[in-house]
Structure 1
Amino acid sequence: MFDRTTISARPSGVRAMPFALIPVPTWCDEPVELREMRAFVAVVEEGSLSGAARRLHVSQPALSQQMNGLERQLGVQLLVRGSTGVRATDAGATLLAEARAVLARYDQAVAAVTRHAGAGETLLRLGIPLELPAGLLSGPLASLAAAYPATRVQALHMSTAAQIAALRADELDVGLVREHPIGPDLDAVLVVEERLGVLLAADQAAKLAGPGGIRLDALAGLDWVGFPRSGSPTWYDEIVAILRSHGLDLGPAAPEGQELIAPVKLAAVTAGGAFALAPPDWREPIPESLTWAPLVGHPIVRRTWAAWPAAARRRDLGHLVAALEYRGPE
């Protein structure tokens, strides 16, 4: 299922967007990560599974299974369950604060975007992955709006594999993907290269940091908080090969079909014994208990391509692609 959003291609609409990825405003249609975040917040705020189940209009057993699954996914205990109710652990408190921030931005974004719905407009469907660099889309969307005011952009939050499949099925007009598509039916251009650093517990980072940052092999013994291979197989295999070549044990694999949003990454790293990869301009606020540090030698570079059907002849699509100027690593 796609995470659907409609963004009016008007400069004022673009400026009003709090962040680039905006789900539709219905709880049941949100991606699984947002459903988990909303459910977790409800459980902590209500102090009981039964109260949260009533608030979310779901069964208590289903909600309990969802919380158990979230804890298994992160590998940490988020809730302490007792006869008088439930309360958050330290890791759970970290996730609670981050989840509230994400949900607040989500609600603000939906309110801003829904003001710009219009009839009789041309639709351009744009696929977007997680963790795009700040400002990557605002300028190109503003340029598109000025040149083609009748075009509105529908942003679809999708993994790389899902975007490529949707492009070939004529369910997407252009996508931002983590690997170059193979085959003559799709064209692609490199738009972003990011030198990824590492997120660590602050005390661990202090011990491992040296001149120029942290050596990748110094992370041996820590688990990688990664993403499912099915979402971007080539990019996943590239990271795995680099990590293993530096003597790192990957730890448990991420559950298939579930990309890890920022609050989930932060909660997993906060618990200790793990690290996550993130770019230097990561837009999510980092708790004081965590530290971002560059990797010595920049061994991991994340690339993002714009991809579209080779047979496409849309001028507004061409304008948007041309406006996505290449941004190299800083």
Structure 2
Amino acid sequence: MERLMEIRELRTFVAVVEAGAMSKAARQLHVSQPALSQTITALERRLGVPLLVRTSTGVQVTDAGTTLLGEARAVLARHDQAVAAMARHTSDGGGVLRVGVPLELPPELLPSALARLPGTRVQARHLSSVAQVAALRAGELDVGLVRERPAGPDLDAVLVVAEDVGVLLAANVAEKLGAPVRLEALAGLEWFAFPRAGSPAWYDELAAILRSHGLDVGPEVPEEQRLIVELKIPAVSAGGAYAFAPPEWPYPLPDTVRWVPLAGRPIVRRTWAVWPAASRRRDVAEFVAALEDHRQTGSGV
């Protein structure tokens, strides 16, 4: 009898489609790219149809893949709902911790915190701050890591990361401007921004800082245009744009791009751990405490 599709396989497939590339999905799922590719290939072989077309720029979904995508999302939503329902019957949450993760977290943050919870299995979802807050209130996440502190008494929050943001520049531009670079010196370059809808407060804070230094913010990025980290490099390397990034940017930089600190440390990016105020789960409390300890010991401050 043919083995049935597994939740893990469906989640992998959805992640690849939503990421648009195998490499990005592998990072999001914390697996190697070859292992992820093998999972997709095995799923295609079992179903007997191609689901994705691999290209030099990413992946494209076939008609069969589009059909599976809708069904997989429905199955995963029902599965996560069932897990959430069962978690309410135990203070330990059944050993599964659902964590919302933004782009560009310090690479050592999550491994350091999860080392304190050896018996806990983590389901990580890469979501914007707004989407994480909505998922927390819908019972779809246990903890979120967001770039703006949510309002309201239904969610608790604690600051876990504060990073002095620097700037990514084309190598020739960085050499011309020197280091550290003053924000004013970026006049004439385009800000490679993210959609405001994903994190309005953080976007507005950044925009206000840029305007106060005489920089043009430019038009807002459409909501449907998700920020793809890999696009920062080609946008910046062409020499007409800049992008913000933390000192420990967890992506390789080509020789054509430099990370440069900003003079006066004008931009600090903060990340809060957020969880339902009514939660009594021990693993949530231990996870948040581990994140706090990580910050207080000097990392991510």
- Is the pair's TM-score, using the shorter chain for normalization, greater than 0.5? yes
Query: In structure 1, what is the equivalent of residue 100 of structure 2?
Result: 127
Query: In structure 2, what is the equivalent of residue 57 of structure 1?
Result: 62
- Cα–Cα, structure 1 residues 35 and 285, in superposed 2: closer, same or farther, change >3 Å? closer
Query: In structure 1, what is the equivalent of residue 18 of structure 2?
Result: 31
Query: In structure 2, what is the equivalent of residue 142 of structure 1?
Result: 115
Instruction: Report the CA distance between 1:167 and its aligned residue.
Output: 0.8
Query: In structure 1, what is the equivalent of residue 72 of structure 2?
Result: none
Query: In structure 1, what is the equivalent of residue 4 of structure 2?
Result: none
> Could you say what the CA RMSD is over the residues aligned between the two structures, in angstroms?
3.0
Instruction: Report the CA distance between 1:267 and its aligned residue.
Output: 1.1
Question: What residue ranges of structure 2 are gaps of 5+ in the alignment?
Answer: 1-6, 26-51, 65-92
- Cα–Cα, structure 1 residues 37 and 165, in superposed 2: closer, same or farther, change >3 Å? closer
Mapped to 1, the partners of 2:57 and 2:102 lie a distance apart of 29
Instruction: Report the CA distance between 1:34 and its aligned residue.
Output: 3.1
1:191 aligns with 2:160: yes
Identical aligned pairs, as a percentage?
55
Correspondent of 1:237 among 188, 204, 208? 204
SS in 2 for 1:247: coil
Query: In structure 1, what is the equivalent of residue 247 of structure 2?
Result: 280
1:42 aligns with 2:55: yes
- Cα–Cα, structure 1 residues 36 and 254, in superposed 2: closer, same or farther, change >3 Å? farther
Instruction: Report the CA distance between 1:152 and its aligned residue.
Output: 1.5
- Cα–Cα, structure 1 residues 329 and 142, in superposed 2: closer, same or farther, change >3 Å? closer
- Cα–Cα, structure 1 residues 37 and 186, in superposed 2: closer, same or farther, change >3 Å? closer
Instruction: Report the CA distance between 1:329 and its aligned residue.
Output: 5.5
Mapped to 1, the partners of 2:111 and 2:24 lie a distance apart of 27
Query: In structure 2, what is the equivalent of residue 169 of structure 1?
Result: 138
Mapped to 2, the partners of 1:233 and 1:320 lie a distance apart of 26
Please tell me the residue identity of whatever aligns with 2:250. R
Q: 5 Å matches for 1:8-27? A: 24-26=11-13
8 Å CA contact retained: 1:192, 1:304 = yes
Q: 5 Å matches for 1:1-330? A: 24-26=11-13, 30-34=17-21, 42-43=55-56, 57=62, 121-145=94-118, 149=119, 151-210=120-179, 213-324=180-291, 325=293, 326=295, 327=298
Mapped to 2, the partners of 1:319 and 1:29 lie a distance apart of 31
Mapped to 2, the partners of 1:314 and 1:329 lie a distance apart of 26
Cα deviation, 1:65-92, whole Å, max 9, x if unaligned, reads: xxxxxxxxxxxxxxxxxxxxxxxxxxxx
Mapped to 1, the partners of 2:299 and 2:24 lie a distance apart of 33
Please tell me the residue identity of whatever aligns with 1:220. A
- Cα–Cα, structure 1 residues 238 and 41, in superposed 2: closer, same or farther, change >3 Å? farther
Mapped to 2, the partners of 1:223 and 1:249 lie a distance apart of 8
Instruction: Report the CA distance between 1:238 and its aligned residue.
Output: 0.2
TM-score, structure 2 length as denominator?
0.71
- Cα–Cα, structure 1 residues 37 and 183, in superposed 2: closer, same or farther, change >3 Å? closer
Cα deviation, 1:252-294, whole Å, max 9, x if unaligned, reads: 4323133323211111111221000001111111110111100
Mapped to 2, the partners of 1:33 and 1:202 lie a distance apart of 28
SS in 2 for 1:138: helix
- Cα–Cα, structure 1 residues 24 and 271, in superposed 2: closer, same or farther, change >3 Å? farther
Report which stretch shifted further, 297-306 or 253-262.
Answer: 253-262
TM-score, structure 1 length as denominator?
0.65
Cα deviation, 1:285-307, whole Å, max 9, x if unaligned, reads: 11101111000001010000000
Q: How many residues align?
A: 237
8 Å CA contact retained: 2:129, 2:199 = yes
Please tell me the residue identity of whatever aligns with 2:264. G
SS in 2 for 1:260: coil
Instruction: Report the CA distance between 1:43 and its aligned residue.
Output: 5.0
Mapped to 2, the partners of 1:139 and 1:264 lie a distance apart of 28
Instruction: Report the CA distance between 1:134 and its aligned residue.
Output: 1.4
8 Å CA contact retained: 2:21, 2:57 = no
8 Å CA contact retained: 1:33, 1:261 = no
8 Å CA contact retained: 1:163, 1:172 = yes
Please tell me the residue identity of whatever aligns with 1:194. E
Instruction: Report the CA distance between 1:153 and its aligned residue.
Output: 1.3
